[in-house]
Amino acid sequence: MSNDCTICLKKVYVTEKIEANGRRYHKTCFKCSEKGCRLTIANFISHDGHLFCQKHVPKLQAIIRPAQSRSRSIKQQQRTHHRYQNEEDDNDI
Ligand SMILES: [Zn+2]
Ligand SMILES: [Zn+2]
């Protein structure tokens, strides 16, 4: 397991660590990647390795890429939403 920040990929020390969705972030990196809105563990949205607030998260149509939507039905995408996002994060790195 890595101790690196999911956003900036630098080492995260305990004093500046936020853990969410099984991933680590710097407190300073744990913000909306669109406008830098303040996020909490309760209201953040993780998408494609980036964090968004409820207001700035891309619409579902934008989240699902055409190449991947062909092999998965909409129902499956909704059911495995969180796992799908994690896979996206890994591919991103
Ligand atoms: Zn960071
Ligand atoms: Zn925002």
Domain assignment present for residue 69? The answer is yes
Domain count, the chain: 1
> Can you tell me whether residue 11 is helix, strand or coil?
strand
Domain assignment present for residue 3? The answer is no
CATH of the domain at 74: 2.10.110
| Residue 2 Cα to ligand 1 middle (Å) | 13
Domain containing residue 43: 14-92
pLDDT for 64 beyond 80: no
Q: Bigger pLDDT: 64 or 34? A: 34
DSSP 12: -
22-38 pLDDT, tens digit per residue, is 899 999 999 999 999 99
Domain assignment present for residue 6? The answer is no
- Contact call for residues 44 and 51 (beta carbons, < 8 A): yes
**pTM of the model as a whole:** 0.60
Length of the chain: 93
User: With bands split at pLDDT 50, 70 and 90, how would you rate the model's confidence at 48?
Assistant: confident
Q: Which one of the ligands is nearest to 7 CA?
A: 1
Domain assignment present for residue 32? The answer is yes
Domain assignment present for residue 8? The answer is no
| Residue 72 Cα to ligand 1 middle (Å) | 32
The DSSP secondary structure of 55-91, one letter per residue, reads: TTSPPHHHHS-HHHHTTS-HHHHHHTHHHHHHHHHHH
What residues pack around ion ligand 2 (CB closer than 5 A)?
A: 32, 34-35, 37, 53, 56
| Residue 56 Cα to ligand 1 middle (Å) | 20
